[in-house]
Amino acid sequence: MSRPGERQTVRKTYKLFIGGAFPRSESGHSYKVADARGAFVANAAMASRKDARDAVSAARKAFAGWSSRTAYNRAQILYRVAEMMEDRRPQFVEAVKQSEGLGSRQADKVVDESIDRLVWYAGWADKITQVIGSANPVAGPYFNLSSPEPTGVVAVVAPQASSLLGLVSVIAPVVVTGNTAVVLASHAHPLPAVTFAEVLATSDVPGGVVNILTGPMTATAPWLASHMDVNALDLTGATGLVEEATAWEEAAADNLKRVLRPPAAEPDWYAEPGLDRMTTFLETKTVWHPIGI
């Protein structure tokens, strides 16, 4: 109980983000989230296999509408997410300070880079096709044109240490190119991810385009890897988990998923991203058409 005149602290229990809504975990379980010093901060939902399946269903349902939007419109929506993050800047700074143990100046830099990263990817939405598409020379009276198309539903294991900048850096390239995502947030540091989910819910992102699960990655990653309606797997956040990542990659082979393997060490998230994360989850479609018809 609080002393007379003191206000009782209201501790929050964060839910999952699936299909644009915030359901409780089907498991009924949650876990304690501590700050960088080990002090209790909040509770987070512990996602189950059923939650993972629901997230995949939501992502699949959203894929047709999202992938058919114009690249310009996807850019506008991603830019809107950046605007919303800017509006809630103090909350993100505090979440990064608590989660990653950074000082105010460093946390400010992380939030700046995260917002700028969204804007950077938004700018590529209507340019990536021009850069990696092509008109191919052929020996015959035909046009031969190659253009990229989104792969589909991408399951993403988000970075565990870089809980905001790393998170944004793996989500943005997946969705800006027309894919939908099921994201496993950092288990130990989920607060930036669930705060980001609240931004997505209040921006223009359609429900199901991004779905965020919290809890141990080992509880849901194996099921997402083997799920037959998941088209690609990003294991960036499995750095250091060699045996687990290998098993997940083997499970992904059942329906020939594209797999982005975990790096040997934590990437430098401050470096310019490049195009690799976008092109990894794009397929190339080639069309032949007779000349003169």
Query: Is residue 1 pLDDT above 70, yes or no?
Result: no
**pLDDT bucket at 139, cuts 50 / 70 / 90:** confident
Written as six digits, the tokens of 154 are 């991408």
222 within 8 A of 254, measured Cβ to Cβ: no
Closest CA to 193 of 73, 22, 76: 22
- Distant-in-sequence, close-in-space partners of 11: CB < 8 Å, separation ≥ 6: 40, 42, 43
What is the pLDDT at residue 192? 95
Closest CA to 213 of 157, 164, 160, 171: 157
Q: What is the CATH number of domain 15-28+43-290?
A: 3.40.605.10
Query: Is residue 5 pLDDT above 90, yes or no?
Result: no
pLDDT (average), residues 81-91: 96
Q: What's the chain's Rg over C-alpha atoms? A: 20
What's the predicted TM-score (pTM) here? 0.92
278 within 8 A of 178, measured Cβ to Cβ: no
Across 80-90, b (16+ Cβ under 10 Å) vs e yields bbbebbeebee
At 30-48, the pLDDT tens digits run 999 998 889 999 999 999 9
**pLDDT bucket at 147, cuts 50 / 70 / 90:** confident
pLDDT (average), residues 163-167: 95
At 204-246, the pLDDT tens digits run 999 999 999 999 999 999 999 999 999 999 999 999 899 999 9
pLDDT (average), residues 137-161: 90
The whole-chain average pLDDT of the chain stands at 93
> Which residue stretches of the chain are H helix?
49-68, 71-87, 89-100, 104-124, 128-132, 165-176, 191-201, 217-226, 242-252, 276-279
- Distant-in-sequence, close-in-space partners of 58: CB < 8 Å, separation ≥ 6: 18, 19, 20, 207, 208, 211
What is the pLDDT at residue 289? 84
CA 87 to chain centre: 21
